[in-house]
Amino acid sequence: MDETYIKIKGRWHYLYRAIDANGLTLDIWLRKKRDTQAAYAFLK
Protein backbone atom coordinates (compact mmCIF):
# COMPACT_ATOMS: atom_id res chain seq x y z
CA MET A 1 0.00 0.00 0.00
CA ASP A 2 1.38 3.36 -1.02
CA GLU A 3 -0.05 6.79 -0.27
CA THR A 4 0.89 10.16 -1.71
CA TYR A 5 -0.51 13.70 -1.83
CA ILE A 6 -0.94 15.09 -5.36
CA LYS A 7 -2.31 18.25 -6.93
CA ILE A 8 -4.94 17.90 -9.68
CA LYS A 9 -6.34 21.02 -11.38
CA GLY A 10 -5.18 23.18 -8.46
CA ARG A 11 -6.68 20.97 -5.72
CA TRP A 12 -4.83 18.59 -3.42
CA HIS A 13 -5.89 14.92 -3.24
CA TYR A 14 -4.65 11.74 -1.59
CA LEU A 15 -3.76 8.92 -3.97
CA TYR A 16 -3.67 5.40 -2.55
CA ARG A 17 -2.13 2.58 -4.57
CA ALA A 18 -2.20 -1.15 -3.84
CA ILE A 19 0.83 -2.94 -5.27
CA ASP A 20 1.86 -6.59 -5.43
CA ALA A 21 5.22 -8.15 -4.55
CA ASN A 22 6.55 -7.38 -8.05
CA GLY A 23 5.65 -3.70 -7.83
CA LEU A 24 2.70 -3.92 -10.22
CA THR A 25 -0.31 -1.73 -9.46
CA LEU A 26 -3.36 -3.75 -8.42
CA ASP A 27 -5.73 -0.89 -7.70
CA ILE A 28 -5.75 2.88 -7.16
CA TRP A 29 -8.03 5.11 -5.12
CA LEU A 30 -8.25 8.90 -5.15
CA ARG A 31 -9.68 10.86 -2.19
CA LYS A 32 -10.09 14.57 -1.44
CA LYS A 33 -9.49 14.05 2.28
CA ARG A 34 -7.22 11.73 4.19
CA ASP A 35 -9.46 9.30 6.02
CA THR A 36 -7.97 6.38 7.93
CA GLN A 37 -11.26 4.50 8.06
CA ALA A 38 -11.69 4.86 4.29
CA ALA A 39 -8.14 3.61 3.72
CA TYR A 40 -8.87 0.46 5.72
CA ALA A 41 -12.04 -0.05 3.66
CA PHE A 42 -9.91 0.17 0.50
CA LEU A 43 -7.70 -2.65 1.77
CA LYS A 44 -10.65 -5.01 2.31
Please give the pLDDT value at position 2: 80
Q: Is the pLDDT score of 19 beyond 70?
A: yes
CA angle 39, 29, 20 (to 5 degrees): 85
pLDDT in tens, 20-34: 999 899 888 888 887
Predicted confidence at residue 37, as pLDDT, reads 74
Assess contact for 15 and 28: CB atoms under 8 A.
yes
7 to each of 26, 36, 42, how far by Cα in Å? Answer: 22, 20, 21
Position 8 pLDDT exceeds 90 = yes
Contact 31, 40 (CB under 8 A): no
Confidence of residue 3 (pLDDT cuts 50, 70, 90): confident
